[in-house]
């Protein structure tokens, strides 16, 4: 049994990870720590587990094997390094860190201390992505020429029930988050396009704030890949009815994903025109991969390269938006 401590309820997905951990047969939630003591105490009471006011004290407990981190993004590096030094296995909400340098420091610490590091990148386990990757790898699309991925919700939009939007106010706090729509929701299009299109060569980013927040609430990134392909990433908090979109276009065919519906057209297939392919099964979640690595040493599908490249694109996009220029990677 892996005894886990929950570190912070700051992120909107903290409850989801607690729920998944609580339902996993090999995980036991043993304690809570939160940088806001009142919030953490309330959570610990709801879960009927210990609340520790001091992170160092919690990490010194020999009955804690691992941690699930949902602190403000700006705290990730310090918290993760402390957990690694205490030899606790680590599961974290994305992004791993705000800079490439901090990611490398984290990798060195986790490897030196022999602990598992997992970042929640859930769409890499989705059948639509798995099929898209297979279509590329088997040549159904030929050489990739362009890719587009868009993910947006209306979390920043005013409604009668939520006059300031349904996202918590701290999601617009630059110091805590390191950004807005791109670094949070845009993480999903970034890690998907990183996998599908390969190494990014340069990018140009346009960040806007339609609702006059401190951070971006809608962002577009235009990417040039080393292969010669081009890409567009879009993310926002101001599109109430916007579906998830993934497009791949190549010299032999095209593949379109809208929410969970997949269509493909290819000169390499016997069928003419568009058709809906049979999709592979859902892959194990990030948490399931994490537990499997801890218990059996199995290599996860989500890799340190995925984690690093996600931060690299975000870091370069911020520089591009701030300086108004294309940034080389």
9-47 pLDDT, tens digit each: 999 999 999 999 999 999 999 999 999 999 999 999 999
DSSP letter string, 204-236: EEEEE-TT--SS-SEEEEEEEETTS-EEEEEEE
Whether the upstream peptide bond of residue 95 has omega within 30° of 0, thus cis, is yes
Tell me the CATH number for domain 2-119.
Answer: 3.40.50.720
Please identify every stretch of the chain with a pLDDT value under 70, giving residue numbers as ranges: none
| pLDDT for residue 23 | 97
Q: What is d(CA 91, CA 247) in angstroms, rounded to the nearest whole number?
A: 30
The SS3 assignment for 256 reads: strand
- Cβ atoms of 119 and 96 closer than 8 Å: yes
Report the 10 Å Cβ neighbour count for 279. Answer: 16
- Cβ atoms of 2 and 65 closer than 8 Å: yes
- Cβ atoms of 318 and 203 closer than 8 Å: no
| pLDDT for residue 270 | 87
Please indicate whether the domains covering 2-119 and 123-283 agree at the CATH topology level.
Answer: no
- Cβ atoms of 119 and 217 closer than 8 Å: no
| pLDDT for residue 73 | 98
Task: Report pTM.
Answer: 0.96
* All structural domains of the chain with their residue ranges: 2-119, 123-283
Q: Classify the C-alpha dihedral 11-17-22-28 as positive or negative.
A: negative
Pick one of 3.30.360.10, 3.30.160.20, 1.20.210.10, 3.30.70.120 as the CATH number of 123-283.
Answer: 3.30.360.10
The candidate with the shortest Cα–Cα distance to 289, out of 276, 299, 277, 279, is: 299
| pLDDT for residue 271 | 85
């Amino acid at each position: 049994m892996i005894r886990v401590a929950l570190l912070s309820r700051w992120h909107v997905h903290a409850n989801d990870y607690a729920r998944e951990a609580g339902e996993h047969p090999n995980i036991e939630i043993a304690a809570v720590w939160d940088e806001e003591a009142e919030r953490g105490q309330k959570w610990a009471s709801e879960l009927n587990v210990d609340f520790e006011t001091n992170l160092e004290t919690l990490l010194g407990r020999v009955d804690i094997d691992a941690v699930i981190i949902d602190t403000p993004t700006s705290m990730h590096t310090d918290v993760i390094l402390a957990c690694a030094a205490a030899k606790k296995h680590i599961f974290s909400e994305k992004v791993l860190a705000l800079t490439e340098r901090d990611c490398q420091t984290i990798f060195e610490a986790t490897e030196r201390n022999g602990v598992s590091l997992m970042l929640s990148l859930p769409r890499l386990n989705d059948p639509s992505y798995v099929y898209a990757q297979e279509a590329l790898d088997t040549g159904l699309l030929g050489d990739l020429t362009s890719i587009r991925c868009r993910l947006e919700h209306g979390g920043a939009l005013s409604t009668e029930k939520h006059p300031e939007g349904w996202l918590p106010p701290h999601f617009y706090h630059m110091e805590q988050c390191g950004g807005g729509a791109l670094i949070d929701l845009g993480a999903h299009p970034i890690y998907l396009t990183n996998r599908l299109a390969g190494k990014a060569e340069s990018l140009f980013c346009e960040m806007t704030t339609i609702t006059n927040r401190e951070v971006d609430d809608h962002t577009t990134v235009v990417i040039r890949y080393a292969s010669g392909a081009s890409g567009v990433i879009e993310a926002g908090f101001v599109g109430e009815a916007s579906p998830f979109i993934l497009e791949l276009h190549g010299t032999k065919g095209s593949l379109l994903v809208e929410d969970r519906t997949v269509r493909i057209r290819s000169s390499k297939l016997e069928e003419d025109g568009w058709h809906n392919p049979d999709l592979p099964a859902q892959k194990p979640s990030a948490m399931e991969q994490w537990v499997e690595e801890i218990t059996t040493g199995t290599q996860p599908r989500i890799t340190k390269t995925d984690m690093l490249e996600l931060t690299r694109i975000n870091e370069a996009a911020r520089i591009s938006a701030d300086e108004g220029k294309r940034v080389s990677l």
